[in-house]
Structure 1
């Protein structure tokens, strides 16, 4: 962790995305229960949104003005992703910029991030910058992985590098609630999300392990108890 708030750097993300295949828009998302509210908006931005999978998902659900902001954007990959999924070229607007050096007069009806805020030291500052992008009727949805339970122990044993790239403090429900109470927002909720799930990142060294981790994940779904031990994600929702 360094003094400029970042826990990760561009080299980390170059290596991260090298192991991923991005060709399909998901049919289901873990935050589906929020979609009836979110799709009332007409503009969307995802912070840390490369390669544009969720932007494309929101586009398919009716929000036509979709943008991704990331300091790691390969536009060729984004355009190819659009082509594969029969989206008009340049559907996904790209802002290739460091979030902490970004300011915008344009405000958005939906401000979204998934797997982003936990990569920084100052959680409140990162959330506050999300809030600053909300339009007058804007809605905020932030998804954070939960590494304070069984999934975190899995990372600790087999992928310490990945675990160390996360600020575990940002995964504490009480801490997040305290932060969210400091903003002038409505309908604030901070809660665990999703059926039990375990995973390892698709790195070459995990190829064999991921098979039994997937089996263990299926077994965990037999115990659909929401909480720190087994829930895979945390969701923060609020509106202006």
Structure 2
């Protein structure tokens, strides 16, 4: 290999390493946002509620940086095989991470509108769902940074449990509203929060699928493990 070729290969490897570092940084920020959002709800932590949205501009900037670098690598380096899969997957994974950050920000902001001081509504289901979503996200980010297809598969298989918790919470909150109309406002906020957590779970599963594909060249089955399908269309939550 001549000097010019060696320089090109070294530069290419450096850019790939830079892309991986951006994704790891982005994953860490989004994981923090999600933890803060959950703490804002279940622990009534106003500092956490304020902190999660503050990370959003950094997450957005890293997504743009990853996109520019990925396109540069595709256009100028003509990657092949596993490198090509990794770069294409990076474009999609960073989009999923950005959306997770948006949902975490939405949860944190909505928590400030909640007044649970005199409420008898239990947050145990939300706490369990938050813990599971956080754990799956952490494992998905670990799988992403280590390119571990086995861990990615475990996260993919955990999607059913998130769905089941969401469905149970939906039924419980609707019951609270039917029993006492004074619960309607609080329960409506909690329904949006639960839906946002469920969407974080979906994007986490997307990341697991991208990681599996990048690592193996194969796709996980089209149909994910699901809870009862009819309850998945309660609507997309918004901020």
Q: TM-score range by the shorter chain?
A: under 0.3
- Structure richer in helix, relative to its length: 2
Q: Quick check: which has more Rg, 1 or 2?
A: 2
Q: State the TM-score, normalizing by the size of structure 2.
A: 0.27
Higher relative contact order (CA 8 A, sep 6+): 2
Q: State the TM-score, normalizing by the size of structure 1.
A: 0.27
- Structure richer in strand, relative to its length: 1
